[in-house]
Amino acid sequence: MLSPTAVEPRSQSRSDRPAALLALGVALAAALSVLALLARPVPAHAQSQNCTLLAQRDSLPGAGSSCWGYVNPSNGNEYAIHGNQYGTAIFNIVNPTAPVMTGFIPGPNSSWREMKTFGNYCYVGNETSGGLQIINLSNPEAPVLAATYTGNGLNTIHSVTIDSTKARLYTNGSNGGMRILSLANPVAPVQLGSYTATYVHDSYATNDTVYAACIGVGQVRILKTTNPASIQQIVAFSTEKTATHNAWPTEDRQYVLATDETGGGRVTSWDISDITSPIQVAGFIADPCADAHNVHVRGDLAYVAHYTSGLQILDISDPTNLVRVGYYDTFPIPAGIFHGAWGTFPYFPSGTIVVSDIEGGMFLIDLIPNSNVDGVVTDAVSGLPLSTAIVSASPTGASDSTDGLGAYRVWLQNGNYTVTAKAFGHDSVSAVVSPVPDGSLAQNFALPPSLGGSISGTFQTGGGAGIASAPLRVKGTPLVATTNGSGAYSFPQVPNGSYTVLLEFWPGLPESATAIVSNVTGNTIVNFTLESVVYKFDFEDTSTAGWVLNADGNDNATSGLWERVNPRGETAEGVQPPLDHSPEPLKKCWITGQGFSCQAADNHDVDDGKTTLYSPVMDLSAVTDPTVEYYRWYSNSIDATPGTDAWRVQISSDGGTTWATTDSTTAKENFWKAVRFRVADFVTPTSLVRVRFIADDSGVAQVVEAGIDDFRIWGLAVVAVSDAAATSGALPARFALYPNSPNPFNPRTEVRFDLRASGPARLGVYTPEGRLVRMLVDTRLPAGPHAATWDGRDAGGREVASGAYLLRLTSGSDAGTRKIVLAK
């Protein structure tokens, strides 16, 4: 939990009790020798996987906080320790289905109470007052308060940490910083030193090494405390959400797991094998509207108190791949963060897991015995490991992805399962397995390569010079490539099928072309030609000049106005984008009314009118055949009258006096959709071109949200050519507009082109300003190769002047443009 220095906006189901209830807590302590608290029935809507609820206790007044455990060394009996608003309860859980409270140690009224054990003592801190309570557990059936330590003015403590290897206790979040106390005398601690460089919220300590969670600066700081009077920092690194709540290393100390206490805060895994350069390698969150509060490691498992998602159990045998193997939802009511499971203790020899829930009290949970089905996935021909394979089990759907060595692990209960391994570029392989509880079953897979071919091509300027270091990928696959010094690239092993090749030369603004791959034709060639981008806005801090709201003063929406933000998504309905369209590290875009994560869908949406976003005025007078592209997000399908209000985009060529609509829809399209249009199809390109985006709520019961990102304008279309079948005689399953021949020409030139499918086709000659000179083809054509000739004359038969012209071919959704030169 956050310390009082950063007050939490937490709304508990039970408010803080008056002093009379504290007296009740004291009275309860006196009567506990004969009191056995009854278990509350399991909530009907509680959910779990591979976990069994053994018992629940929720009869103490006030809210719950953290928990820990104690094992009696004389007989091995196990005791659960549960923090409460008014004190600390100790339960005998020898029979975990019927726990019995053996003691209650009252303490100051505090919503924050955490504890750890060392030897026969439990050390308890709180954030109200009173310093450190020391509870004697030598007789856990009758625990007593042995002492209270307030040395050197110690008053408040957020959490406590024990370094059992050094008999030391750390008070985290205490006044005076993180203090280090010697427990040589367990009832009379002695302060050895303190760390005051920044606030430490929680920590893990062993053998003079401390993994400190510093929530104020959003960092894990690994410290060396060999000399407590002179603490040395080994390394510091910022966690994913910079709200670092706790940190816990794996048992081999090669990785550390951390949590961020903020909406959407995940458990993240960090490779610290090179302690000077930690690297985040994985992350897990059970619910994006929740928060992973505390994580503890035991062997190959991590146990997470995940606030409203309850207990989450992760397999961390591969810390680069956090796999959930079990959970028990202690708080099955959607409520954001600061409710539900606070802490967990998973270290009892019996395997009983203690979970403390703010509203629900103490839960005792058992992880059902499971079997590991694990092995390696390899290429059947080369024998090399496949690091992108997915292994899944039917009928449960349990799955895992392979690591860099091709290894996987799937957790299953005893029974019969069909386990299937899949990897891109390979045929899937299945096997029937029958795991047994607490066993380990090996199952390797060798996947044969799928039949297919390759994709290759070039990325060049209009003059033919190659462009190096341009990134490309094949959509929906793991295939990525980069052009070499000559502008060439290659994807050497692609299964048969139809693919979209994306050229991502402009961040967030990919060009695409379709490639049909077949083992019959072999290599498919997709070439890209660079045309100049004259305006580009990704809406980060350096590309927002001139974008304004309500430029004409006619907007009247009362909420949900356009704003440029890092979007976080509002609700499970997905009415707003959770992320912008641009790739990392770019994060910002325009959306209508940034709300709070996981709130109601109709908060901050467009209400009672329209809100309009205007581009700057842009000079397109000298741009050859300008094309506009942007990515939009639009949702209007929530509430009583879905699909009523319309989204509109308009363009002006006179600075905003008159407008033509280019894009309008009433359909819900709550994803980043690419929209592209030729300026000349709507207005004449001038020096006063402007675009505006209108989100409008007509007043009917409807939730309207919109977004805009990655806007650009370029001259000419980028031409993609796929000519795999050129030498085979087969019909080309592609669209292509080839360079005319000759070029330059006088007075005649031939134009060859391919159509992907039969249908209407148009091939025209245009001036650079977009005015039609002559239509060469305007008819229905079959799929395949075609040719046309232009004799340098316009539609009236008159010879045209020397100079540059444009060839534009359209067929269905395909379009291509090439520049040609008539030289007399």
Report the half-sphere exposure of 114 (CA within 13 A, side-chain side).
26
Amino acid occupying residue 394: S
Q: Which of 301, 298, 290, 299 is nearest to 341 (CA)?
A: 290
Q: What is the CATH number of the domain that holds 390?
A: 2.60.40.1120
Assess whether 656 and 692 both reside in one domain.
yes
Assess whether 358 and 378 both reside in one domain.
no
| pTM score of the predicted model | 0.67
Using the 8-state DSSP alphabet, how is residue 799 labeled? Answer: B
Strands 371-379 and 445-447: parallel
Q: Which of 484, 461, 476, 537 is nearest to 506 (CA)?
A: 537
Q: What is the CATH number of the domain that holds 709?
A: 2.60.120.200
Q: How many CB atoms lie within 10 A of CB 197?
A: 15
Q: What is the CATH number of the domain that holds 745?
A: 2.60.40.4070
Burial classification of residue 206, based on how many CB atoms lie within 10 Å of its CB (0-12 exposed, 13-18 middle, 19 or more buried):
middle
pLDDT at 775: 93
Assess whether 30 and 97 both reside in one domain.
yes
Using the 8-state DSSP alphabet, how is residue 607 labeled? Answer: B
Q: Which residues of the chain have pLDDT under 70?
A: 1-46, 334-336, 462-463, 506-510, 531-532, 542-543, 570-573, 596-602, 638-643, 699-701, 716-734
The residue from 406, 425, 447 where one domain ends is 447
- Alpha carbon distance 737, 817 (integer Å): 7
Assess whether 429 and 562 both reside in one domain.
no
Q: What is the CATH number of the domain that holds 114?
A: 2.130.10.10
pLDDT at 733: 52
Report the half-sphere exposure of 73 (CA within 13 A, side-chain side).
7
- Alpha carbon distance 569, 574 (integer Å): 7
Residue 469 lies in a domain: no
- Alpha carbon distance 277, 254 (integer Å): 12
669 sits in which H/E element: strand 669-678
Using the 8-state DSSP alphabet, how is residue 771 labeled? Answer: -
Using the 8-state DSSP alphabet, how is residue 594 labeled? Answer: -
Q: What tokens does 695 get?
A: 């989100």
Assess whether 93 and 106 both reside in one domain.
yes
Q: What tokens does 90 get?
A: 């100790």
The residue from 654, 686, 715 where one domain ends is 715
Q: Provide the edge-to-edge strand list for the sheet that holds 219-224.
A: 202-206, 209-214, 219-224, 232-238
The residue from 422, 447, 472 where one domain ends is 447
Assess whether 137 and 282 both reside in one domain.
yes
Residue 459 lies in a domain: no
Amino acid occupying residue 476: G
Assess whether 353 and 383 both reside in one domain.
no
pLDDT at 16: 32
- Alpha carbon distance 386, 388 (integer Å): 6
pLDDT at 543: 67
Assess whether 242 and 386 both reside in one domain.
no
Residue 109 lies in a domain: yes
Q: How many CB atoms lie within 10 A of CB 204?
A: 23
210 - beta bridge partners?
205, 223
Q: Is the peptide bond before 585 cis (omega within 30 degrees of 0)?
A: yes
Amino acid occupying residue 616: P
Residue 727 lies in a domain: no
Amino acid occupying residue 267: V
Assess whether 438 and 357 both reside in one domain.
no
pLDDT at 627: 86
- Alpha carbon distance 266, 322 (integer Å): 11
- Alpha carbon distance 242, 258 (integer Å): 11
Token pair 């009523």: residue: 644
Residue 618 lies in a domain: yes
Residue 529 lies in a domain: no
pLDDT at 5: 25
Q: Is the peptide bond before 747 cis (omega within 30 degrees of 0)?
A: yes
pLDDT at 40: 34
Assess whether 652 and 752 both reside in one domain.
no
pLDDT at 576: 85
Q: What tokens does 305 get?
A: 């108190």
Assess whether 289 and 141 both reside in one domain.
yes
583 is in which domain, residue-wise?
Answer: 534-715
Contacts 24+ apart (CB under 8 A), 460-467: 460/487, 460/527, 460/528, 460/529, 460/530, 461/529, 461/530, 462/529, 462/530, 462/531, 462/716, 462/819, 467/505, 467/530
Assess whether 355 and 434 both reside in one domain.
no
Q: Where are the alpha helices (DSSP H) in 101-169?
A: none
Specify the number of domains making up the chain. Answer: 4
Residue 507 lies in a domain: no
CA of residue 555 relative to chain centroid, distance: 35
Q: How many CB atoms lie within 10 A of CB 720?
A: 23
Residue 301 lies in a domain: yes
* CA-based radius of gyration for the chain: 33
Q: Which of 638, 625, 710, 727 is nearest to 674 (CA)?
A: 710
Q: How many CB atoms lie within 10 A of CB 144?
A: 11
Identify whether the C-beta of residue 339 lies closer than 8 Å to the C-beta of residue 331: yes
Strands 562-565 and 589-592: antiparallel
Amino acid occupying residue 68: W
